[in-house]
Amino acid sequence: MDLNWTINTGENWVLFGKSGSGKTSLAKIIAGLEKAIGEVNIDFKTDTNLPPEVLFVESWYQFKNLEGVANFYYQQRYTSQQAKDTLTVHAELVGYGKEKGLHFDKVEPILEALNFSSFASSQLIELSSGEHKKLQLVKALWLKPQLLIIDQPYTGLDAASRKNLNILLDEVSAKGVQMILISNDAELPASINRYAEIKDGQISVSDIRKIKSFSTEKHNREIPDFLKESPVYSSKNIIKMVDVNISYGEKQVLKNINWEVKAGEKWLLQGHNGSGKSTLLSLVNGDHPQSYANELYLFGKRRGSGESIWDIKQHIGLISPEFHWYFDASATVWQSIASGFYDTVGLFQQLPYTKSKQVDELVEYFGLTASKNELLKSLPLGKQRLVLLARTIIKNPELLILDEPCQGLDQQQTQHFNQLIDELCSNGMTLIYVGHFESQLPTCIEKRILLEKGEVKSTEVIEELI
């Protein structure tokens, strides 16, 4: 990038562009978190009580355990004893308030507006991606820095939380906070008055949001032959839950859940942040230890009948924001895809020829040939998600679980991703798809289950999703 950008007093910006165009890198340079050739000058105001600092809110929340390290693993979130290793939300906020000299009574209205007050006693490691985003936003809105930069502010948030966030952002703007939001979303705060797009390393600015067509041509690569075959189903019943309950101490997370998923069905799982979606999926994945205390059948067998977690995972392909967080950062694209055969977070053994050939076919199908030897973490987020989708389907699983798979993707990438899902699921694969935006869903979805406060509010057949 070689660009010039001036932000004047009273301007609130949205910075948009394709995933990988350099939006996050530019934001980190402005915040002083990355070095660059050239100059970045920030003139803080002296006639205000707002802190003279730039706060950059990352797209993902980085937290550490009580010993100051961040060496976590995926299943740790559901193991309550080990979850004591991290601070509670309340303790995190108390520490942040002391560090920044903030009054705690000022944070309560923000917690209430984002429907986050009930998470005070939750451990950081127990939170879902949407709940982590809320914690980031609470701290930023509480601090009210002179310049606030938020990378993907709406990631993981339900519709009500997105609406309330925009109100809160307008309120801090009225108090003098200037904002840069990195987002391709259409729903923005009313206080946003300038727009910038990064394209080909250059920045173009405008007073008006340019309406872009994000339509994409149909994916014209042919699905590999091994994915054209229907999965080999071990049972007609994929999931059966009978009066399932999950509690942490006195806090009940799931209440009397009854749900049945049959082979080949395509389900949409929805609910507000904190409604229990992630916990429900952790039962299906085999990751939740309380599954043994409930009447739960997976792939025709009752949980606790002698099968291991790994026996269950052989039937499943999974993408989730949390799984993405914990994935092996040292794995290459090729190794990441290959690890799906063994349900590991990295490749620790040599593949036989037939399996290696299947990996090569998927690398080609997803257009990743030029990147196959690069580290997964070095790719733009959109390509990382495609790699993890390839990993998820490499064994042609009976059940595909896609938990908010399009977080952080631009509209074109989301459309492309869901188009791939439709093609891949045409072979009879069973699907559970979690998504807040009904306009950004695969067309193959047939049924919906809606959770509210840990209970099934409704299940319904979907005639048509637009």
- Angle in degrees, 0-180, between the axes of helices 89-100 and 129-143, rounded to the nearest 10: 20
CB 166 within 8 A of CB 158: no
Q: Give the distance, in angstroms, between the CA of residue 245 and the centroid of all CA atoms in the same chain.
A: 25
The pair of three-digit structure tokens given for residue 429, joined into one six-digit string: 């694969």
What CA–CA distances, in Å, run from 390 to 56, 230, 319, 424?
32, 17, 10, 10
Q: How far apart are CA 39 and CA 42, in angstroms?
A: 10
Whole-number pLDDT of residue 79? 52
Q: Is the CATH number 3.40.228.10 carried by domain 13-206?
A: no
User: What CATH fold (topology level) applies to the domain 225-461?
Assistant: Rossmann fold (3.40.50)
Q: How far apart are CA 237 and CA 302, in angstroms?
A: 11
Residues 6+ apart with CB under 8 A from 102: 96, 142, 143
CB 402 within 8 A of CB 236: no
CB 373 within 8 A of CB 334: yes
The pair of three-digit structure tokens given for residue 230, joined into one six-digit string: 């229907």
Residue with tokens 């057949």: 461
DSSP bridge pairs for 240: 260, 297
Q: Which helix (H) or strand (E) holds 399?
A: strand 399-403
Integer-rounded Cα radius of gyration of the chain: 23
Whole-number pLDDT of residue 136? 94
> What's the sign of the alpha-carbon dihedral 460, 402, 316, 310?
negative
Q: How far apart are CA 292 and CA 164, in angstroms?
A: 39
Q: Where in the chain is the domain with CATH 3.40.50.300?
A: 13-206, 225-461
Whole-number pLDDT of residue 74? 46
pLDDT tens series, the chain, 466 aa? 678 899 999 999 999 887 778 888 899 999 999 888 888 999 999 999 999 999 999 886 665 544 444 444 444 455 544 446 678 899 999 999 999 999 999 999 999 999 999 888 888 877 877 888 899 999 999 999 999 999 989 888 888 889 999 999 999 999 999 999 998 887 899 999 999 998 888 898 877 765 454 444 555 688 899 988 889 898 999 999 999 999 877 788 999 999 999 999 999 999 988 888 988 998 998 888 888 889 999 999 998 888 888 889 889 999 887 787 777 778 999 999 999 998 877 676 788 999 999 999 999 998 899 999 999 988 887 788 889 889 999 999 999 999 988 876 777 778 888 888 898 888 899 999 998 766 678 999 999 999 999 999 999 998 654 4
Q: How far apart are CA 421 and CA 339, in angstroms?
A: 20
Residues 6+ apart with CB under 8 A from 393: 227, 317, 340, 362, 400, 424, 429
